[in-house]
């Protein structure tokens, strides 16, 4: 997983998975990506960075289940008006089920709020309060995490939750191999 340089083979796999030709008509373009990064004081991890700049900025057919949202979007049910700070490091390096943590305050626990609001962009939802995040700052930069109303866990083989590769391309390849949305593209 190289988060600093786009791998042409990964970009080709992403184009294929999303059924996107090389035209990049639905891509943001580099100017918009650089503006987003400057506004948030971050550099997006590769290959996602090149993906949104040159391939596409979202897809209604997935992944995840309800589609890949655009870079600057938030799912309506997650947009609570709270200021997100992408430049602050994502706080986790291992799975945390806060529902089972007796030290967590029911509503408004600052540690839980940091999981939702620091160092990640939301890629989309599988519904039922399950959201996929791409970590953009902190030790897990470039990894995908599933964040729900009961806890958060990293995606990928190194973390024991699947046999898939970690990172954005591994996550997309996993979906392309296992979801019916791929057949529809």
> In angstroms, rounded to a whole number, what is the distance separating the alpha carbons of residues 31 and 68?
21
pLDDT averaged over consecutive 10-residue blocks of the chain (185 residues)? 91 89 78 97 97 92 86 79 88 89 71 91 90 96 93 86 85 83 41
pLDDT of residue 22: 62
pLDDT of residue 2: 85
pLDDT of residue 66: 87
Q: Which residues of 118-156 are buried (b: 16+ CB within 10 A; e: fewer)?
A: bbbbbbbbeeeeebbbbbbbbebbbbbbbbbeebbbbbb
pLDDT of residue 21: 67
Domains of the chain listed by start with CATH number: 8-71+83-184 (3.40.1580)
pLDDT of residue 183: 44
């Amino acid at each position: 997983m190289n988060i600093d340089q786009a791998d042409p083979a990964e970009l080709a796999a992403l184009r294929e998975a999303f059924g996107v030709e090389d035209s990049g008509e639905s891509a943001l373009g580099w100017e918009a990506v650089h503006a987003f990064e400057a506004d948030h004081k971050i550099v997006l991890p590769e290959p996602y960075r090149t993906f949104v700049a040159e391939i596409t900025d979202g897809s209604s057919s997935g992944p995840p289940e309800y589609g890949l949202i655009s870079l600057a979007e938030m799912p309506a049910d997650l947009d609570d008006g709270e200021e997100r700070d992408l430049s602050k490091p994502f706080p986790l390096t291992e799975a945390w089920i806060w529902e089972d943590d007796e030290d967590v305050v029911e509503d408004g626990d600052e540690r839980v709020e940091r999981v939702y609001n620091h160092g990640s962009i939301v890629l989309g939802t599988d519904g039922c309060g399950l959201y996929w995040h791409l970590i953009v700052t902190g030790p897990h930069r470039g990894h995908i995490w599933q964040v729900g109303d009961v806890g958060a866990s990293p995606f990928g083989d190194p973390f024991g939750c699947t046999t898939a590769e970690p990172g954005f391309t591994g996550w997309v390849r996993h979906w392309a191999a296992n979801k019916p949305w791929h057949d529809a593209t």
